[in-house]
Amino acid sequence: MNLTGSVILITGGTGSFGNRVATHLLKSQPAQIRIFSRDEKKQWEMQRVYPQFHYILGDVRDAERLSQAMRGVDFVFHAAALKQVPACEVYPYEAYKTNVLGSHHACEAARAHGVKTFVALSTDKAVKPVNAMGISKAMMEKLVCSQNRNGGGTVFCAVRYGNVMGSRGSVIPLFKKQIQEDSPLTLTVPEMTRFLMKLDQSVDLVLHAMTHAQGGEIFVRKAPACTVADLADAMRRKYSPRGAAHPIRVDGIRPGEKIHEILVNEYEMQRIIEKEEYFAIHPEYRLPAHLTSRPLGEEYTSANTRQLRDPASIGALLDAMGETEFYT
């Protein structure tokens, strides 16, 4: 897909993903990249580094403001969300207003202004959700992926991530901060597993979705996983002056947390096309002629994907992660 000369809008554009995808898209020489977000401080900080972007202050909860921002846009990456599980557990209605209602506004604006392709970002927590954040993102997926039932020229699809390494609010920056402060690394459940994906791979996934979507799909990139105990051990050995002697404290599971995450559930697995690096989950209303056959009941989870267990392999992934831009 040729993005040269196009206008691209990124909601939640000052977040970890929005920042990285915006800088990546510059290589395609678009006419304009619009950064839409509600935090003026993060916009000011990002604008000092990337003055070439067009910054729009607004909230996806505001349908009129979002519609104004969408005028003349060719492609949309919808990354705006409340994504912190503990905060969404305390304020579930706030999660609904941003993740569900805000996504509805984004879809309506995209359809009204003739956007070509709309890619929404989701999470493994939307699969068989047990917390408010996951439930709201699951509803977001349904809203977005149902849009093409109604016809129109806009192609709507979603991508689903596991843990994006180094993104704002993830455990890796937390462990680094605790190591720098010489405080114990805090774990919930040592046996808990989480997918590990580099931020650049998350960008690759949305570009893959944008170029392959027919409408209504959810795209998943395969990723390795490890236990949080193994991740903490690898990080203390790599970054702490005390090495393996750096203390670890187990605090117990938090409200709304799972032991293992799921990226493709047993029902979705019956309507996938699988490639070497990706799953494409097709909507029930548009199934291709040839699907990848999978046994009934099979799922793709952080417990049955490729496991990273030794500090060296996890450390290599941490090296490959690179530095992440933070606007705080």
Q: Which are the catalytic amino acids?
A: 125
| β-strand partners of 227 | 193
CA distance 247 to 98: 38
Residues 217 and 283: beta-carbon distance below 8 Å: yes
Residue 239 CA to residue 141 CA, distance in Å, equals 38
* 196, 308 contact by CB (below 8 A): yes
Residue linked to tokens 């990848």: 292
HSE (side-chain half, CA atoms, 13 Å) at 9:
31
* 306 secondary structure, DSSP code: P
User: What is the rounded radius of gyration, in angstroms, for the C-alpha atoms of the chain?
Assistant: 20
Q: Hey, which residues does 34 pair with through a beta bridge? A: 9, 54
DSSP string, 144-165: HHTGGGG--S-EEEEEEES-BT
Do 111 and 144 contact (CB within 8 A), yes or no?
A: no
DSSP string, 236-255: HHHH-TTGGGS-EEE--PPT
